[in-house]
Amino acid sequence: MAAVQDGQLNLEVEKDIKTEITNDGSGNINANSSSPGSTSSGGKSKSPAGSGEDQQTLLAVLQFLKRNKLTESVDILRREAGLSADADDSPVSESAGAGSGGVPSVGADGGDANSLLSRVSIATPVAPPATAPPKVVAASGGEDQPDVNVVLSAYSQQGDPVLYPLYYNGLKKFIESVLDCHRAELSQVFYPLFVHMYLELVYNNHENEAKQFFEKFSGDQECYYEEDLRILSSMSKKEHMKGNETMLDFRTSKFVLRISRDSYQVSCLGKPEMSRSLWQLTITYRMLSYQLLKRHLQERQNNQIWNIIQEHLYIDIFDGMPRSKSQIDAMSGSLAGEGKRDANKAKVFYGLLKEPEIEVPLDDEDEEAENEEGKPKKKKPKKDSMGSKSKKQDPNAPQQTRIPLPELKDSDKLDKIMNMKEATKKIRLGPDNLPSICFYSFLNAYQGLTAVDFTDDSSLIAGGFADSTVRVWSVTPKKLRRVKSAADLSNIDKESDDVLERIMDEKTASESKILYGHSGPVYGISFSPDRNYLLSSSEDGTVRLWSLQTFTCLVGYKGHNYPVWDTQFSPYGYYFISGGHDRVARLWATDHYQPLRMFAGHLADITCTLFHPNSNYVATGSADRTIRLWDVLTGNCVRILTGHKGPIHSLAFSPNGKFMASGATDGRVLLWDVGHGLMVGELKGHTDTIYALKFSRDGEILASGSMDNTVKLWDTLKAFDDVELDDFTAATGHIHLPENSQELLLGTYMTKSTPVIHLHFTRRNLLLAAGAYNP
């Protein structure tokens, strides 16, 4: 890919584009509905500075482009920005030019573009009324003030550096003095405030003051911010801030806090002067007119803090009881605070698609002979159960044709039939009936095994390695064979019954095959559901599609210009998702060399990707410690799930599509209700990064595999049963998590110095685990 070699200039372009993309907190950008479109439409929902910032950032980009003599792009951008929201071309990809590979193509369903757009605007959450008046002002302020440098440097405001600790301390004292029930909520403001004040000090070259400030107050912050604080403390110069991505996030995104209206009002009663003014300000910000606000701002001495709050924080006020400390802690920890409540309001069709009706062929003759009476009886109820499940349309399911899915081939139907047959032999799991575990150890991998995947029927296993190779093994006695060469194929009698057997080259039969092609470690691999293809994503910035018939590379998908951490096939094949260091997840179709959708919004690397079982949504986990759920059709972000305290490395959907599990470097597994967008459980027990999660075929058991060399089994049926979801909690999203991880833990199974990096349930519910033995 060009960008790798292009050097500084191109990379800078990339970085700025990244900024541009990420500035939209809710990330409503996709390749079809262009970024100006979404910025302007999304802007309505945003608080004043956000919208203004968008404008300003646009200006900044313009200037940058000008400086780099990309006049054409400037023109386009100008035009687009000036145009109405209907603009249908992305300046992002245009300006990226050769680098970002993203001249967006409408893709397979290009005709839908307009309908897509209408969906976008429909899906756009309605803005909270309170934020409306300031928005206009701030936005106009942005227009009045086209000084790009000021815009880029959000921290240019000058205050007396000596006073910073005083401000902070005053606020701290005030918050410590309020009632217990409010303290927890108000304390949320500490961390973002601390970070921004520190950055302001650094930005304005008050190096020593910044250091003192850090030393004085860094101990007060929650321990799960430790990693960020470490990065923060390493920056002590203005120059450092330029390239630092973490700080870029802080500057470009708003830290979201949820505070109950109650706490809010209480906070302004009889408090020390400075703080009261602060909270009065906040109240007025919400309640009073703009003029009043402005006057307050000018009068009060502590506009330092106020400015920060206004510019970098988004305070989401809700009606209801203040939350407890543990409730807040459960939800916080992400790079940008919690998700806005209205970010999770969109409806998600989490139900499963109707299974196509396949006539299960009458029993094979040999089976008939084997068991004359038992079989037909068994078959019938099974058919019924399958039938009833698929005939009744799940009310929560998306329309069957919501996204076009590939038609079933004959071989797929055969596979489905096999699947059904296997399913009848499935073991019913539960707390009293745990699965046996089969561990696939990779020997002699020399610390180089980076990814593993099994086919759904558990016949093949593939490993991605740090030496850029992908290796495929057959785990059944059936060896892997190549299709014969074209010359040999022409000699085959195409009419013969066993033509499929004849095309295979017996001479190439072997237990394993090695696929060469990548030029960097392979971080993610995924088999297609029909076992004909294999995807691999690599540090070299490409995703490759391999044929498992010829064992050659078919396509290299270029678009991510940075390492691609993960890729995943859709459960129906054809589509796949990839995500990586560039923070943008891309949706591809195997027959298009350019992405169909780009999902932007994460503030840090996308570390793992996963399709929803109904293929209408994709989930991405990120190093910004959030999980986002994206609608494949519209490209919108429909869920932002916060609560993890470290980068998320594994995701799993329950087979019914209703729940999701996620595992992170913090060693915790969190359970989510996809429909409500709520955290419904926390499973503690692992001591290291969780790299693998999988639900059993019926969803009763969750298996988690970790770097701590254990596989743990959890009782998810109980976990989901214990959750009480009444209307109130569903509405506010403030749930009391049951503290019952130990009851839910069904078993812990140690490996022999082998980190568990993949888990898979066979169709009969035998658990397969895989990892490399590290002596």
Q: What residues line the site for another protein (CB under 8 A)?
A: 7-8, 11, 211, 215, 231, 233-237, 239-240, 243-244, 432-451, 461, 463, 465-466, 471, 473, 475, 512, 520-521, 523, 539, 562-563, 565, 581, 605, 607, 623, 647, 649, 665, 689, 691, 707, 713, 746-747, 749, 755, 757, 770
Rounded to a whole number of angstroms, the minimum distance from the CB of residue 239 to another protein is 7
Rounded to a whole number of angstroms, the minimum distance from the CB of residue 17 to another protein is 16
Rounded to a whole number of angstroms, the minimum distance from the CB of residue 225 to another protein is 15
Residue 183 tokens read as 């303290």
Extract long-range pairs of 478-486: CB within 8 Å, 24+ residues apart. Answer: 479/509, 479/510, 479/511, 480/508, 480/509, 480/510, 480/511, 480/512, 480/513, 480/548, 480/551, 481/505, 481/506, 481/508, 481/509, 482/508, 482/549, 482/550, 482/551, 483/549, 483/550
Rounded to a whole number of angstroms, the minimum distance from the CB of residue 279 to another protein is 34
Strands 255-260 and 313-318: parallel
DSSP assignment letter at 9: H
Rounded to a whole number of angstroms, the minimum distance from the CB of residue 506 to another protein is 22
Q: Which is nearer to another protein, 33 or 204 (CB)?
A: 204
Q: Which is nearer to another protein, 308 or 434 (CB)?
A: 434
The type of residue at 59 is L
Single out the residue of 177, 227, 217, 188 nearest to residue 325, CA to CA.
188
Q: Which is nearer to another protein, 565 or 659 (CB)?
A: 565
Q: Which is nearer to another protein, 443 or 487 (CB)?
A: 443
Q: Which is nearer to another protein, 290 or 473 (CB)?
A: 473
DSSP assignment letter at 371: -
Q: Which is nearer to another protein, 315 or 462 (CB)?
A: 462
DSSP assignment letter at 664: E
Rounded to a whole number of angstroms, the minimum distance from the CB of residue 560 to another protein is 12
Rounded to a whole number of angstroms, the minimum distance from the CB of residue 690 to another protein is 11
Q: Which is nearer to another protein, 632 or 713 (CB)?
A: 713
Q: Which is nearer to another protein, 114 or 234 (CB)?
A: 234
Residue 348 tokens read as 């998600």
Q: Which is nearer to another protein, 94 or 666 (CB)?
A: 666
Residue ranges of alpha helices (H) inside 503-608 are none
Q: Which is nearer to another protein, 544 or 581 (CB)?
A: 581
Rounded to a whole number of angstroms, the minimum distance from the CB of residue 477 to another protein is 13
Strands (E) across 551-645 are located at 552-558, 564-569, 575-580, 584-589, 597-600, 606-611, 617-622, 626-631, 637-642
| Spatial distance between the Cα atoms of 329 and 310, rounded to a whole number of angstroms | 23
* Rg of the chain (C-alpha set): 27
Residue 512 tokens read as 């394993």
Rounded to a whole number of angstroms, the minimum distance from the CB of residue 440 to another protein is 5
* Residues in the chain, total: 775
Our CA angle for 373, 379, 381, nearest 5°, is 110
Total Cβ atoms within 10 A of residue 455 = 20
Residue 694 tokens read as 């999988």
| Spatial distance between the Cα atoms of 7 and 561, rounded to a whole number of angstroms | 12
Rounded to a whole number of angstroms, the minimum distance from the CB of residue 151 to another protein is 25
Rounded to a whole number of angstroms, the minimum distance from the CB of residue 257 to another protein is 27
The CA distances from residue 410 to 147, 407, 416, 625, 701, in Å, are 63, 10, 10, 42, 33
Q: Which is nearer to another protein, 508 or 729 (CB)?
A: 508
Residues 6+ apart with CB under 8 A from 122: none
Rounded to a whole number of angstroms, the minimum distance from the CB of residue 250 to another protein is 15
Q: Which is nearer to another protein, 581 or 625 (CB)?
A: 581
DSSP assignment of 55-90 equals HHHHHHHHHHHHHTT-HHHHHHHHHHHHS-TT--S-
Strands 255-260 and 701-706: unpaired
